[in-house]
């Protein structure tokens, strides 16, 4: 059975710089033999977490929307790719709301002490993080990296690798930086190979 990877696009621009880097990473993972499903988070019909806390004692969320299917996919996936721009030193609002809905996973792991992902599966699962930032300033990625790291721990898919590019206000078009496009493809392929057991040099 092919390894399953979920690829989250955090940008609302479906053909922008973030999406292009994500597509390269997806291409790499697919070439390594993985099955990849791309989710355009900003265009989902999903409500933010309302803190009803039904998930405190149950594996279900009281809010009935697209997330019920997403939760199941996150339990079944082997790998995760998150691609996002930096906004106000963090992830965009729609992506943050999406992450916050994983209280279902949080409560299971940290409140009830019974993670939805087994320790054996956690050892196999890996996350690739891709981000761009407009400004060229120190620590511009610190906020998003903390958020993504925490999310990976909650869903038991630890951060494994990253591709980061700042100064996009100057660069403007990521296609003018083929080395960054290549880095996204290469890391996607390496992620796929790590999941499938393939050789990095293959």
Residue 139, SS3 per DSSP: coil
- Give residue-wise pLDDT tens across range 6-16: 999 999 999 99
Q: What is the pLDDT of residue 200?
A: 53
CATH number of the domain that residue 86 is part of: 3.40.50.360
Please check whether residue 41 is in contact with residue 96, taking contact to mean a CB–CB distance below 8 angstroms: no
Residue 201 covered by a domain:
no
Q: Is it the case that residue 53 has pLDDT exceeding 90?
A: no
Q: Do 19 and 13 meet the contact criterion of CB atoms below 8 Å apart?
A: yes
Tracing tokens 């697209």 back to the chain, one arrives at 66
Residue 37 lies in a domain: yes
DSSP conformation class of 197: T
Residue 131 has pLDDT above 90, yes or no: yes
Look up the domain containing 112 and give its range: 4-196
In a domain, 59, yes or no: yes
Residue whose tokens read 């070439």? 31
132, pLDDT greater than 50: yes
Is there a domain that residue 137 lies in?
Answer: yes
**In this model, does residue 199 exceed pLDDT 70?**
no
Domain count, the chain: 1
* Pure H helices in the chain: 17-31, 67-76, 93-100, 103-106, 119-124, 142-154, 168-171, 178-196
CA 33, chain centre distance (Å):
19
| Residue 137 Cα distances to 92, 111, 179, angstroms | 19, 38, 21
* Rounded CA separation 11/13 (Å): 5
């Amino acid at each position: 059975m092919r390894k399953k990877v979920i690829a989250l696009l955090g940008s609302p621009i479906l053909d922008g710089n973030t999406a292009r880097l994500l597509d390269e990473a997806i291409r790499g993972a697919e070439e390594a033999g993985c099955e990849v499903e791309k989710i355009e988070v900003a265009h989902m019909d999903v409500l933010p977490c309302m803190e009803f806390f039904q998930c405190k004692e149950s594996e279900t969320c009281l809010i009935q929307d697209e997330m019920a299917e997403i939760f199941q996919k996150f339990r079944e996936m082997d790998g995760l790719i998150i691609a996002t721009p930096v906004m106000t030193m963090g992830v965009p609002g729609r992506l943050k709301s999406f992450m916050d809905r994983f209280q279902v996973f949080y409560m299971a792991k940290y409140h009830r002490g019974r993670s939805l992902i087994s320790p054996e599966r956690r050892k196999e699962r890996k996350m690739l993080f891709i981000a761009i930032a407009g400004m060229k300033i120190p620590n511009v990625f610190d906020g998003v990296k903390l958020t993504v790291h925490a999310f990976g721990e909650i869903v038991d898919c630890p951060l494994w690798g990253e591709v980061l590019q700042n100064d996009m206000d100057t660069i403007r078009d990521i296609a003018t930086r083929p080395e960054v496009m290549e880095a996204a493809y290469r890391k996607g392929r390496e992620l796929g190979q790590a999941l499938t057991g393939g050789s990095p040099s293959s």
